[in-house]
Structure 1
């Protein structure tokens, strides 16, 4: 039963990735159909992100009330309905309305599944699941949407196809509801032998989640991480074209290697977790990413920039899933669901507002600041993470 539920969760993570890259892939045709300015895509993106942030913040109470299985099913149904709504949307206003619902659905299911896996499965599954998210994010625009990009209104068929996939997943989740409770009683054990646990759970039981020592540092680390991950993906091509003087096609290909390094790295990290702790993986990933970003600054041959982008992606690979998996061990299972929601909300906030910040600064200076911006944010992530690790070790020594 536990294995069957795990398979369903893997399918859910692929499904989570499918809608995430649709807007960017479909926007050239959508913009023409609706007759709106180019920047409207940014408004829709931020609308989806806003719904996701709100949903993540309140997810802790909702999941505690209704359970992970029910929330995951309802969120999947909401996501499918939103995508179907976008398929039939008669105007850009309706696209905005459905974007809100899409964000609500995505935030709740993302938080629910991450916390469930962190509490019930070992670290390698968290890495592999996020690798499967990358598979979904790749399949969305490359396979599904690209197949419908010919003809008037063809983008709608792409949204319809992914909506149908989401409805099928929702049906599977509905049928699987009894498995969630059974798996909770017979779990694999999310806190593996390589996870650093603490013994002060009773002392934190009646403490407000945000008042638990280390939580704010964790939130800051998530803010830096997701902000810089999205910034590299959004502005990497512009930097390569305008500073390194590559063609747009070559630059796009090189940035795709960054995402490839991230996805493949998470798959490989799943095997490394058998030998290394989450803490070590987080630190090693940050160091690799920092070295890769430094290569973008140094006056070296242009091909070194490709190595730098791949290193940054490969370094980022273990950081996010390892930090998520550490949540129950660091802050206790009692509050892990709420804290997970806060972490996801802050992560989405970083991914939403930090990339436009670089764009705003670059528009008044030069896109040449891109690698320096990346290095500064990786250093900020590393410092906040190391301070959190030191605080946790100090607290552990007090309770041991």
Structure 2
């Protein structure tokens, strides 16, 4: 009897070990049972061990079932946690990267066009700076509306249809603007375009920020934006110089956006499922659903009188999950709104894109008014600026990130951009100012992808989707609000105000950037830092 008691204690100890040891523990139990048979036979125990053989097999069978259930549950969860998203994993990712880059090129094509077409729009409608700047204000209103709905858009539509819907809203804008209809309708069109651009921009940034080597893919993406913005003023200027009405230019963007919508529809097929391991919103849900699914597998043995109860329980679980998901999205929105880093980076990007688009939109008018530039060729200066921005994003982003990091890189590049704009202000030569505009673009370009790269490390993973949507919407709103304000001030003081406004906005942006935590700084334990080390 003492031998049997010891064997039972060994069996219990074996069963209560960790899940990872079940494979070896089964063999251990089998060895114990065989030794039990031998020992009982040698002792001449009248109670035959054959009577216990069936129960032992049942216990081992149950252990096998539990082991299979656990081996199905935990390794998958660990594998999802260790996965790294690349251009080949999931399989459609390379296509999706290309689709996002092509869309960004179309976005740059659209954003850069008003800068070259502004004098022609004013002449066509016989309006002043203030009135024509309403197109940017309407654009900003569309971005802000999307920011307010950021926590609802993806749960409603999913990644695929969110991006297709964004392209659809942009197509509405280009259809209205290309018709050359009355100016109030043009303003409404720019409002729809703002909503469309904000939706796709937020989804694209969130998608690329989850990649391994995200700085590389973000630099490609936003360099594509700069490429579209470089070509756009060239085409627009050539068309109006050839006698083609300005609004027909938007037919080219309409065609591009239809292509983008189709591309998104095909490339992001199944994206909500195969990108789920990297979706911060579903991380907690995956753990819950995994544990529940293991419990479901164990309970699928038919029981008399229980027919239909599993379906009833499953429907109840789905309802509870749906309700819990709605609560989680609301809680995440509140957390994102309470996070000071979200708002600091949002205003950083507001000033960044406000200064960038204001400069690109009004530099041509400034050169015409104050540098007596040639009206037939000065429009190409805008292309030079966007070309410099493209080169900066494509060639400098990865180098700066690897050599000095995102924080220091943005500080250095921002100071260089301010220097170039000051030189444009003080040197009264149209050709030199055009060249300096291109150099300013080179310095301005890498700041956007560098900022996104560091933001994904500063913002908690759970609220990254919502925070990045708010941040990108604020940034794009800045690209609409500040050109309007420049036009408003230019009406009374002249278009030269674009230069001091740029300097003020960029200085404010730099101050906000320095206020963020310096997570890239290497600090020895117990080391005391001086002011320069804290900032740098």
Asked if TM exceeds 0.5, the reply is yes
Residue 138 of structure 1: aligned partner: 230
How many Å apart are 1:158 and its aligned residue?
3.7
Q: In the alignment, which residue of structure 2 is the partner of 1:116? A: 207
Higher mean displacement: 174-183 or 12-21: 174-183
Distance 1:275 1:4, change over 3 A: farther
Task: Choose from 462, 472, 481 the match for 1:344.
Answer: 472
Q: Which residue of 2 aligns with 1:192?
A: none
Is contact 2:136-2:481 (8 Å) kept?
no
The corresponding residue for 1:279 is 407
1:223 aligned onto 2:315: no
Of 273-282 and 107-116, deviating more is 273-282
Larger CA deviation: 238-247 vs 381-390? 238-247
With over 3 angstroms needed to count, the CA separation of the structure-2 counterparts of 1:24 and 1:228, relative to structure 1, is closer
Q: d(CA) in 2 for partners of 1:173 and 1:52? A: 20
- Residue 319 of structure 1 and its aligned partner are, at CA, apart by 0.9
Per-residue deviation at 1:51? 1.3
User: 2:432 aligned with 1:309, yes or no?
Assistant: no
Q: 1:361 to 1:130 in 2, by over 3 A?
A: same
2:194 to 103, 122, 129: 103
Q: CA deviation at 1:323?
A: 1.2
Match of 2:389 among 257, 262, 271: 262
In the alignment of these two chains, the number of paired residues is: 379
- Quick one: structure 1 residues 258 and 391, their matched pair in 2 at CA, closer, same or farther if it must change by over 3 Å? same
Cα deviations across residues 61-93 of structure 1 (Å, max 9, x unaligned)? 312443322211221123224423444575444
Post-superposition CA distance 1:29-87 (Å, at most 9, x none): 77777x56355533233223321231233234312443322211221123224423444
User: Does the 8 Å contact 1:56/1:342 carry over to 2?
Assistant: yes
Rounded to whole Å, the distance in 1 between the matches of 2:143 and 2:457 is 25
Assess, with a 3 A threshold, how the Cα gap between structure 1 residues 248 and 47 changes in structure 2: closer, same or farther.
Answer: same
Conserved? CA contact 1:72–1:109, under 8 Å: yes
In the TM superposition, residue 307 of structure 1 has moved relative to its aligned partner by: 5.3
Deviation at 1:354, TM superposition (A): 2.5
CA contact (8 A) 1:50 1:100 kept: yes
> What is the alpha-carbon distance in structure 2 between the residues aligned to residue 373 and residue 141 of structure 1?
23
Q: Per the alignment, in what secondary structure is the counterpart of residue 111 of structure 2? A: coil
For residues 154 and 229 of structure 2, the distance between their equivalents in structure 1, rounded to whole angstroms, comes to 25
Q: Secondary structure at the match of 2:517?
A: helix
Unaligned 5+ residue runs, structure 2? 1-90, 279-330, 526-536
User: 1:149 Cα shift?
Assistant: 7.5
Structure 1 residues 183 and 276, CA gap change in structure 2 (3 angstroms)? farther
Q: Helix, strand or coil: the match of 2:143?
A: helix
Q: State how 1:32-43 maps to structure 2 within 5 Å.
A: 37=127, 40-43=131-134
1:317 Cα deviation after fit: 1.0
The aligned counterpart of 2:259 is: 168
How far the C-alpha of 1:132 sits from its partner, in A, is 0.5
Asked whether the equivalents of residues 57 and 341 of structure 1 are also in contact (C-alpha less than 8 Å), the reply is no
Contact 2:166-2:196 at 8 Å conserved across structures? yes
Q: Which is worse superposed, 291-300 or 265-274?
A: 291-300
After TM superposition, give the deviation of residue 374 of structure 1 in Å: 2.9
Please give the alpha-carbon distance, in whole angstroms, between the structure 2 residues aligned to 1:305 and 1:148: 23
Give the secondary structure class of the aligned counterpart of 1:120. Answer: coil
CA–CA separation in structure 2 for the residues paired with 1:175 and 1:80: 18
Asked if 1:328 is matched to 2:449, the reply is no
Structure 1 pair 48–359 and aligned structure 2 pair: CA distance change class (3 A): closer
Separation of aligned partners in 2, 1:24 and 1:292: 20
Indicate the SS of the match to 1:67. Answer: helix
- Kept in 2: contact 1:46–1:352 (CA 8 A): yes
Tell me how far apart the structure 2 counterparts of residues 108 and 206 of structure 1 sit (CA, whole Å). Answer: 17
How far is 1:335 from its partner? 1.1
For residues 338-383 of structure 1, the C-alpha deviation after alignment (integer angstroms, 9 at most, x for no partner) is: 1112212322332223234344445544555554433332222111
The residue that corresponds to 1:126 in the other structure is: 218
| Distance in 2 between residues matched to 1:345 and 1:170, nearest whole Å | 20
Larger Rg, first or second structure (1 or 2) = 2
Cα RMSD, aligned residues only: 3.7
Deviation at 1:146, TM superposition (A): 4.5
The answer as to whether partners of 1:23 and 1:41 remain within 8 angstroms in 2 is no
Distance of 1:240 and 1:23 partners within structure 2: 16
2:158 counterpart of 1:52 = no
Aligned to 2:84: none
Q: How far apart in 2 are the matches of 1:363 and 1:160?
A: 30
Q: Partners of 1:38 and 1:32 in 2: how far apart?
A: 9
Q: CA shift at 1:104, angstroms?
A: 1.6
RCO comparison, higher one (Cα < 8 Å, 6+): 1
TM score, norm. by length of structure 2: 0.61
Q: Is 1:375 the equivalent of 2:503?
A: yes
Structure 1 residue 215, shift from structure 2 partner: 2.4
**Structure 1 unaligned runs (5+)?**
188-203
